[in-house]
Amino acid sequence: MWKFWLCFGAVFLSCSGYTWPLPDQLSAAQQRELKELQQDVETEIEELCCQNELKRCCVEKKKSLAQRNMEEWEGLIDSLKELKSTPDEEEAIKWLEEYNEELRQRNVRNAEANWAQATNITDENAAKVVEVTLEVTKWSLKKMEEAKKFDTSGFSDDVKRQFKMITTSGSLSDEDKQRQLAEIGTELEKIYSTGTVCQADGTCLKLDPDLEGIIAKSRDYDRLTWAWLSWRDAVGPPMKDKYAQWVALLNEGAQENGFADKGVLWRGAYEMPDGKLEEMVDAVWEQVKPLYTQLHAYVRRKLSEKYGADKVSTTGHIPAHLFGNMWAQQWNNIYDIVVPFPDQPEIDVSDTMVEQGYDALRMFKTAEEFFKSIGLRPMPQTFWDKSMLTRPDDREVVCHGSAWDFYHLPGDTDVRIKMCTKVNQEDLYVIHHEMGHIEYFLTYEDQKTLYRGGANPGFHEAVGDTIALSVNTPGHLKKIGLLQNVGHNQDFEINELLKMALAKVAFLPFGLMIDKWRWRVFSGDITPDNYNTGWWNLRMKYQGIKPPVERTNKDFDPGAKYHIPSGTPYIRYFFSFIAQFQFHQALCKEAGHDGPLHKCDIYESKAAGTKLKNMLSMGESRPWPEAMKAITGQEKLDPSAILKYFEPLEKWLREQNKDEKLGWD
C-alpha cells in the first residue's frame, strides 16, 4: 500500500511539471532520505511507464493524478516535518547514542555479577552484586537528571520514547537505603535458593529436585502434607520481616519519583493508563473462568475419589497439596489420577525420554532443532560453553530456570540459560520456554540497548511457550520419536486436551492472583500483619483451593514461591498464557494449517518463522499493541484463541459435570 501510494506521488514528482513542495525545515539526513525516496520512486515509474513506450503519458495524465494525490502528498510532508530534527534534537540523539552504549556496558557488568552469584551463591559474590547494583543506580540517577534537561516536546516519537524510558525510575536517592534494598534482595533470594528441609532420619532435602519430586509423584496424603508444609515452614518465616522492609524501600523509591507506589511502576511496563491493565486482565479472566470452573469441578471429583470425601469435598475448595505441584499452579503431574480414558495410548513421554537415554544436552539440542526448523537462529557456540544446564553438586546455585542476555554487540553474542534440568517432559517444555527468551534476545540484538527487551514482559514469556504448543502435540512427539502410538479418535483427543488444560488453564487464576496480592501489598491494602491471610483469600477466591492445614499470619506462604523473594513481577505469565494461543493461532494460519488448533505443529514452516521473527525483531521499540498486530493482525489481548483451542474439551467437561455443583463458595 505504501509503495503504491508513493508511486502516485512520483508521477507528480517526475512528470507533472509542478514544483514539488519540498519541505524546507528538514535536517540534512532527512533531506537525504527524501531524495533517496524520490529516486527510488522515479526509477520505479520509469520501469512501469516510460520504458513501456508510454512517454507521452507523462504530462496531462499525470497532472490529474498529481492533483488527486495532492492531499496525500501534503500528508507525507507534514509527517516528515514532524520527523524533522531541530539542533536540539540532533544533540539529544547524540546524547542518546552515548547513553545506549554506556547502558549496554553497564548491563554487561550487571549480568556478569548476577550470573556469578546465581551459579555460585557465596557472600563474596553477593557483595559484588550489591556493588554493581549501586554503581548502576548511581549512574542511572545521574543520567536521569541530565535527560530531564532536554525539552522533548518537539522531538520525534522514537526520541521521546527513549527519554521516557530513561526518566521513568523508582530509584532511591539515599545511598544507604539503596544498599539496604540491594542487600535485602540478595538475602531473600538466598533464603529461597538454599532452603532445605531435614527429616527425622537426618537426611536433608532441597526444593529442586527433592521436595518438588515428592509433591509430583507421591500419592500418600500425609507425605504430601509433610512436603508441602515443611517447604513453607523452612523458607517463609525467615523472609517475612525482610520482605516487609523490602516493600517499604521499594515504595519509598517509587514515591520519591512521584509514583503512588511500586505497583504503579511495575504495571507501567504495559504502557497503559494505571488501572487499565488490571481492568484488562480481569475482563480476560471473566471470559476464561467458566472453562477453569469446569476443569476445577472435574479434577475435584477425581481427587475426591482418590483421597476420599473426608479429605476432598466435592463441593468446596480443594486442598492445595494434591495437584502434583508445590504451588498448585499447574496440575499436569496428576494426569494419571484424572485421565479421562486410561485405555488410550500414553501421551506422557517422560519414561520414553529416560529409556532413550536423553540427557540435558540432548533435550536442549532437540529444542534448538525446532527453532532452527522455522528459520530462527541456532544457539551460538558460547551458549553451549557457558550455560549451566544441570545442577552442579559442588556449590549452591539458584535452580529456578532463567535466560540471560549479556548485552554483547552483534557478532560477539553471549546469551546463556541457567537451569537444573531433569529428564522429563515438563523440563523439555521449560527448555523451550527458556530458549524462547534466547531467540528473542538474538532477534532484537541489533536494536538500541533501551529497546533490547520484549514488547512487554508477557511477550518475552510467550515466545518459547508458543513453540512448545507445537512441540507438545502428539503428532510432533511422534515425529521426533518420543511417541509410538497416536490415537485418532475423540477419546484420545480428550486425553490430549485435558493434559494441556492441566498445564495451561489451571495456571490462569494462579498467574492472576500473585500480582493481585503484590499490587495490594504495594498499595498498602494488604499490610504485613495480613500478608498470609491476604494471600490465602486470593488463592481461595481465584483458584478455589485452600491450605491443607491451618495457616496464620506468622506464616509467610508467598515466600515459598520463587518470584516473591526474587522480586519478579508475575502478571507477565498470565498475559503470556493467553497471548501464546493468539500467537499459535496466527502462526498456524501462516503455516497453512488446516484443522483443529490443538493439532497444529508449525515445525519447518519458514512462513510462520518469518512472521514470528518480524515481531521479535521490534524488541521494545514500539508499544505492545503494535507488536501484537504485527503477529496476529489485532491489537488486543484476546482469550478467544485459548477458548477455541479447548472448545472440544469444554464441551466434554460440561457433560461430565452436569450433576456437579460448580464453584466453591
Instruction: State the binding site for Zn(2+).
Output: 433, 437, 461
CA 403 to chain centre: 11
* Distance between start and end Cα atoms, the chain: 55
Q: H or E segment at 135? A: helix 123-148
Query: Is 434 annotated as catalytic?
Result: yes
Q: Are 41 and 13 in contact (CB under 8 A)?
A: yes
In the list ligand KAW, Zn ion, none, the entry touching 402 (Cβ below 5 to 8 angstroms by class) is ligand KAW
- The residue (of 434 and 439) whose beta carbon lies closer to ligand KAW is 434
Choosing from 89, 434, 620, 650, the catalytic residue is 434
Nearer to ligand KAW, 322 or 500 (CB): 500
Residues 6+ apart with CB under 8 A from 117: 125, 126, 128, 129, 186, 398
Q: Which of 573, 574, 624, 646 binds ligand KAW (CB under 6 A)?
A: 573
Considering the candidates 72, 256, 278, 563, report the single residue annotated as catalytic.
563
Nearest Cα neighbor of 167 from 180, 150, 148 is 148
Binding residue count for Zn ion, defined by CB under 5 A: 1
Query: Is 598 annotated in the active site?
Result: no
Which residues, in sequence order, are CB contacts of 7 under 8 Å at separation 6+?
Answer: 41, 44, 45, 48
Nearer to ligand KAW, 407 or 556 (CB): 407
Other Cβ atoms less than 10 A from the Cβ of 156: the count is 15
CA-based torsion, 170, 171, 172, 173: positive or negative: negative
Compute the distance between CA of residue 328 and CA of residue 560 in angstroms, rounded to an integer: 12
Q: Minimum CB separation from ligand KAW for residue 471, in Å?
A: 12
HEC sequence for 277-324? HHHHHHHHHHHHHHHHHHHHHHHHHHHHHHHCCCCCCCCCCEEHHHCC
Distances (CA, A) of 653 to 315, 341, 343, 501, 608: 16, 13, 19, 11, 32
Site map (CB under 6 A) of ligand KAW, residues 523-562, x = contact: ----------------------------------------
Q: Establish if 368 lies at the interface with ligand KAW (CB under 6 A).
A: no
Q: By CB under 6 A, is residue 358 in contact with ligand KAW?
A: no
3 state SS of 173: coil
Restricted to residues 462-481, the positions that interact with ligand KAW (CB under 6 A) are 465
Q: ∠ CA 78-81-87 to the nearest 5 degrees?
A: 170
Cβ at position 437, least distance to Zn ion in Å: 6
Number of residues that bind ligand KAW (CB under 6 A): 17
Given Zn ion, ligand KAW, none, residue 281, with its beta carbon under 5 to 8 Å by kind, binds none
- The nearest distance, CB 573 to Zn ion, in angstroms, is 8
> Which residue in the block uniquely carries the three cell numbers 513421554?
349
What x/- string results for residues 423 through 452 when contact with ligand KAW is judged by CB under 6 A? Answer: ------xx--xx--x---------------
| 455-494 residues near Zn ion, rule: CB under 5 A | 461
190 binds ligand KAW (CB under 6 A): no
The contacts of residue 186 (CB under 8 Å, 6+ apart) are 117, 126, 129, 130
Which stretch in 168-176, 294-302, 380-388, 400-408 sits in contact with ligand KAW by CB under 6 A? 400-408
**Which of 402, 470, 495, 585 contacts ligand KAW by CB under 6 A?**
402
DSSP structure string for 52-106: GT-GGGTHHHHHHHHHHHHHHHHHHHHHHHHH---HHHHHHHHHHHHHHHHHHHH
Min dist CB 610 to ligand KAW, Å, is 23
The residue range among 289-297, 538-546, 566-574, 591-599 that interacts with ligand KAW, by the rule CB under 6 A, is: 566-574
Instruction: State the helix-helix crossing angle for 647-656 and 276-307, rounded to 10 degrees.
Output: 50
Q: Are residues 191 and 238 in contact, defined by beta-carbon separation less than 8 angstroms?
A: yes
Q: According to CB under 6 A, which residues from 292 to 351 bind ligand KAW?
A: 329-330
414 in contact with ligand KAW (CB under 6 A):
no
Instruction: Rank residues 147 and 207 by Cβ distance to ligand KAW and give the closer one.
Output: 207
Binding site for Zn ion (CB under 5 A): 461
Residues marked active site are found at: 434, 563
Binding site for ligand KAW (CB under 6 A): 329-330, 400-403, 429-430, 433-434, 437, 460-461, 465, 566, 568, 573
